[in-house]
Amino acid sequence: YKRERGLPVLDREREEALIRKNVGAFPDEELKSYYADFLRGVMKTSRAFQEDKINGVTVAFCGVPGAYAGIAAKKIVPGARLVAKKDFRSAYDAVTDGECTLAVLPIENSTAGEVAQVTDMLFNGSLFVTGIYDLAIRHSLLGIKGTKIEGIKKIVSHPQALAQCESFIQKHGWEIIACENTAVAAKKVAESGDPTLAAIAAGEAAGLYGLSVLAESIADTAVNTTRFAVLSRAPGSLKSSGVHSVIMFTVRNEAGSLAKAIDIIGSAGFNMRALRSRPMKELLWQYYFYAEVEGEISSPKGEEMMKKLSGCCDRLKKLGSFTYPATIA
């Protein structure tokens, strides 16, 4: 109704009238103020749902427009309203706090390995993984309009991008400057107006910041892919083929506990595609494990596997299931 008539989602006067009406009919005087707060929370949730239906789902990502995470989010959720956040934690919390419906965060790069900070948030946080997508990373050299490669003296980018383009940089003998994000690097070059400064970033960032693409595909290897996870407050529900699942766990401090956990997963018929360990910050020399398996862990055999794992694991967490592989161009 609101979409068809161009009405705003929030009608504050109408909401307050409904709250007064319902609170007035509430029999317990002591609880009336709490009931009013409850109703405001319900209406806030309703508004978030309406915003998603009318204007598109809100998706948080780390960086500024033109960042690879933003590019991935746009491809994964076409038509979404993208919300740029300053860091991984801010993007994660935007979903936890209800500001955004989804977050798209990197979890692993084919050359640089896992993104440890994101993995730690997955273990300690409350969000679920509802999708994992592979994005081919193609670094380009960006400079202000009229810049020639011969005149460049300094390169700015994220440390990983600088490392991935090391041969290209060394060939030209450029000075390197690290910054927090490839798109931030492009923005800095645009704002500087310096023809001797160039950025390594996605080619899409050039159009956003009025820069020229001076060279394309400059990474040392053509095989450079980042896996992005889609995070949600609720788990996905999949009953199709090609489903993968992620579980995270700690094992008891007993001989053979990890081997026993791995054997339980294999014996249940779940092919393990990845197993990584991370140190637990609160316990010295203790570790938790991230395992990605083929199959749906909410199936009867998955539930039986989880039951058996609980016998040798101190902490056990279903992180989510999703259809994989999924590659975005």
Number of H helices, E strands in the chain: 12, 16
Q: Residues 46-58: pLDDT tens digits?
A: 988 898 888 889 9
User: What's the distance, CA 250 to chain centroid?
Assistant: 23
Furthest CA-CA distance within the chain: 79
pTM over 0.95: no
Contact 272, 293 (CB under 8 A): yes
Q: Residues 240-280: pLDDT tens digits?
A: 557 899 999 999 888 889 999 999 999 999 999 999 999 98
Upper half-sphere CA count for residue 268 (Cβ side, 13 Å): 25
What's the confidence (pLDDT) of residue 70? 95
Q: In the β-sheet with 175-178, what is the strand arrangement from edge to edge?
A: 175-178, 154-157, 197-202, 139-144, 211-215
C-beta contacts of 158-165 below 8 A and 24+ residues apart: 158/182, 158/185, 160/109, 160/112, 161/185, 161/200, 161/201, 162/200, 163/112, 164/111, 164/112, 164/137, 164/139, 164/219, 164/220, 164/221, 164/224, 165/139, 165/200, 165/218, 165/219, 165/220
Q: Beta partners for 144?
A: 211
| Number of C-beta neighbours around residue 80 at 10 A | 20
Contact 261, 252 (CB under 8 A): no
CA distance 239 to 261: 25
Six-digit token pair at 31? 């609880």
What's the confidence (pLDDT) of residue 241? 57
CA distance 88 to 111: 20
Contact 325, 134 (CB under 8 A): yes
- The amino acid at residue 126 is S
What's the confidence (pLDDT) of residue 238? 57
Six-digit token pair at 294? 């083929």
Positions of E strands within the chain: 58-62, 81-85, 102-109, 113-114, 128-136, 139-144, 154-157, 175-178, 197-202, 211-215, 225-232, 243-251, 272-279, 287-294, 313-323, 327-328
What's the confidence (pLDDT) of residue 167? 94
Residues of the chain with pLDDT under 50: none
Contact 112, 118 (CB under 8 A): no
SS3 211: strand
Nearest to 243 by CA among 297, 189, 172: 297
What's the confidence (pLDDT) of residue 283? 78
What's the confidence (pLDDT) of residue 229? 95
Residue with tokens 């960032």: 205
Q: Beta partners for 200?
A: 141
What's the confidence (pLDDT) of residue 165? 95
Contact 181, 203 (CB under 8 A): no
